[in-house]
């Protein structure tokens, strides 16, 4: 189809008033352009707090006197915070408006990044990191809501733009934190705090939108009647999407945490292993824009789920059989497979008709999904240590790809959570 609309995305944006469009069109056009800037800047900030720390984790451990177990806990905190704080996002959005909550989220990221390098203690560092992660968590959940409300006929394009910016921020922080730290004098505190500037920049458009257009820029969060009727846990599609989100997140965290080590243990140099990981992450930049656009043109997203899953299985097979011989091919294939993340975000917007439905589905799928993803990287480490090699962990990664494909196909069916989780007696 020439249009990106599907039967699940034909609802117009819900407005607080029925004022003539001619009177508000100029302001609306200006606000839409600013909203696009705000979405891109917000997405750029949703991972640097994590990947910049990963790049300097050894220096942070030495500087704060962290034990290895505490450092391991620190690497497991992000998905836990995403799960816990993400649940709060719909309630906060109903009270203050999604735009205001995202604005506060960007401010929390900035504050956390400024504070944490200078706390002088492990506890203070963890608390400040938690503040930044809280801002990331609520923004994670509400970005699909804002895309759905402001761009109901361009969900694919805007989700693609948002996902591409998120992937760019992730890979950029991983790639430049160390050289930038060296250029700024070699102090790890400076290398971490500099990312707060990007978060501060993201606050500006959101503050302007909230002040000029109200907390939601003229679009309501949804009436209480809508909210009272939808029981998201009754929807099979919601559960399928939550499990799909969790399994793809598991694969992504395993890849980010262990793939470089797999290559190094196979005889690849440390520098090349880092480049291979960067290639895997960089694949998400162009594909995160293409895949959501393609997904919204299809009545079912099952074929895309299967294609991404096959790439993942091929990549894992390559890691098992010839990890160094075909390293570049495996890095590319796993990078393609990891693009299940923007697909999952796109399906959140497509599997609900209303803004309230998108908010509830986004919170449920992401919070449940991130909880599911927590044990994966830890289990891979345990299996690697006890088996003495990568054969068993790689087999586990490949095995998890099979249910990911199955639930992804179920989540990709052309239906909405409102149809499945409607209140008793609803028409």
Query: Any idea which residue has 């709060």 for tokens?
Result: 88
Of 97, 100, 85, 216, which Cα lies nearest the Cα of 138? 85
Which pLDDT score is estimated for 88?
87
Helix (H, G, I), strand (E, B) or coil at 219: strand
Number of other CB atoms surrounding residue 332 within 10 Å: 18
Length of the chain: 427
Cα separation, 25 vs 1, in Å, equals 28
Q: How many CB atoms lie within 10 A of CB 320?
A: 17
Report which of 275, 273, 283, 287 is spatially closest to residue 319, judged by C-alpha positions.
273
Buried residues in 41-66 as b, exposed as e (16+ CB within 10 A): bbbbbbbbbbbbbbbbeebbbeebeb
Mention every residue, 6+ apart, whose C-beta is less than 8 A from residue 176. Answer: none
Domain 24-221 identical in fold to domain 230-418: yes
Q: Parse the chain into domains and list their residue ranges.
A: 24-221, 230-418
| Regions of the chain where pLDDT drops below 50 | 1-27, 215-228, 425-427
| Alpha helices in 116-216, H assignment, sequence order | 122-150, 155-183, 188-193, 196-213
**All residues at 6 or more sequence positions from 262 whose CB lies less than 8 Å from its CB, including other chains:** 319, 323, 390, 394
What DSSP state is assigned to residue 4? -
Q: What is the pLDDT of residue 222?
A: 41
Return the residue matching tokens 């299996």.
383
Q: What pLDDT does 82 receive?
A: 86
Query: 3-class DSSP state for residue 15?
Result: strand
pLDDT in the model for residue 422 = 66
Q: By C-alpha distance, which of 347, 136, 152 is closest to 245?
A: 347
* Domain 24-221 classification at class level: mainly alpha
- What's residue 223's pLDDT? 37
Q: CA 125 to CA 260: how far, in whole Å? A: 26
Q: How far apart are the first and last CA of the chain?
A: 30
Neighbours of 324 (CB within 10 A): 16
* Whole-number percent of the chain with pLDDT over 90: 37
Distances (CA, A) of 339 to 83, 196, 312, 394: 20, 27, 10, 19
Q: 219: which strand partners?
A: 15
Q: Which element (helix H / strand E) includes 104? A: helix 98-115
DSSP code at position 421? S
What are the helix and strand counts (H, E) for the chain? 21, 0
Phi, psi of 286 (to 5 degrees): -75, -40
Q: Rounded to an integer, what distance in angstroms lies between the CA atom of residue 277 and that of residue 280?
A: 5
How far is the C-alpha of 408 from the C-alpha of 362, rounded, in Å?
15
H or E stretch including 91? helix 89-96
**Sign of the Cα pseudo-torsion (47, 169, 407, 4, in order):** positive
Whole-prediction pTM:
0.75
Rounded Cα distance between 194 and 184, Å, is 10
Query: Which residues are registered as beta bridge partners of 15?
Result: 219
**CATH class, range 230-418:** mainly alpha
pLDDT of residue 329: 95
What gap in Å lies between CA 43 and CA 204, rounded to an integer?
14
Q: Are 166 and 46 in contact (CB under 8 A)?
A: yes
pLDDT tens by residue, 300-324:
999 999 999 999 999 999 999 999 9
Distance CA 185, CA 190 (A): 8
């Amino acid at each position: 189809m020439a249009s990106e609309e599907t039967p699940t995305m034909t609802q117009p944006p819900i407005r607080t008033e029925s004022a003539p469009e001619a009177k508000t069109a100029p302001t609306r056009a200006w606000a839409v352009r600013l909203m696009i800037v705000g979405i891109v800047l917000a997405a750029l900030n949703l991972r640097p707090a994590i990947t910049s720390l990963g790049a300097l984790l050894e220096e942070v451990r030495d500087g704060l006197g962290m034990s290895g177990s505490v450092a391991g806990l620190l690497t497991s905190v992000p998905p836990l915070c995403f799960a816990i704080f993400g649940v709060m996002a719909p309630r906060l959005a109903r009270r203050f408006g999604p735009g205001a909550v995202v604005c506060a989220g960007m401010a929390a990221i900035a504050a956390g990044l400024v504070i944490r390098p200078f706390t002088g203690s492990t506890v203070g560092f963890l608390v400040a990191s938690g503040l930044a992660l809280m801002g990331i968590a609520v923004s994670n959940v509400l970005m699909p809501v804002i895309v759905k409300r402001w761009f109901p006929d361009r969900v694919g394009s805007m989700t693609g733009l948002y996902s591409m910016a998120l992937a760019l921020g992730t890979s950029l922080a991983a790639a430049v934190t160390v050289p930038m730290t060296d250029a700024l004098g070699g102090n790890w505190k400076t290398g971490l705090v500099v990312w707060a500037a990007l978060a501060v920049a993201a606050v500006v458009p959101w503050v302007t939108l909230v002040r000029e257009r109200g907390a939601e820029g003229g679009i309501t969060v949804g009436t209480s009647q809508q909210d009272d009727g939808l029981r998201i846990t009754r929807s099979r599609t919601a559960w399928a999407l939550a499990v799909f989100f969790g399994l793809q997140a598991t694969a992504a965290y395993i890849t980010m945490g262990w793939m470089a080590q797999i290559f190094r243990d196979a005889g690849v140099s440390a520098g090349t292993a880092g480049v291979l990981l960067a290639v895997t992450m960089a694949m998400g930049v162009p594909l995160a824009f293409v895949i959501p656009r393609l997904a919204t043109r299809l009545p079912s997203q099952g074929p895309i789920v299967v294609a991404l899953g096959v790439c993942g299985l091929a990549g894992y097979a390559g890691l098992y059989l010839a990890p160094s011989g075909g390293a570049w091919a495996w890095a590319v294939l796993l990078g393609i497979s990891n693009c299940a993340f923007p697909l999952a975000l796109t399906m959140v917007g497509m599997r609900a008709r209303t803004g309230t439905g998108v908010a509830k589905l986004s919170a449920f799928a992401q919070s449940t999904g991130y909880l599911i993803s927590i044990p994966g990287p830890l289990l891979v480490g345990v299996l690697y240590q006890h088996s003495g090699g990568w054969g068993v962990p790689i087999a586990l990664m490949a095995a998890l790809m099979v249910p990911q494909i199955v639930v992804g196909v179920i989540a990709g069916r052309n239906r909405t959570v409102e149809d499945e989780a409607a209140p008793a007696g609803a028409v």
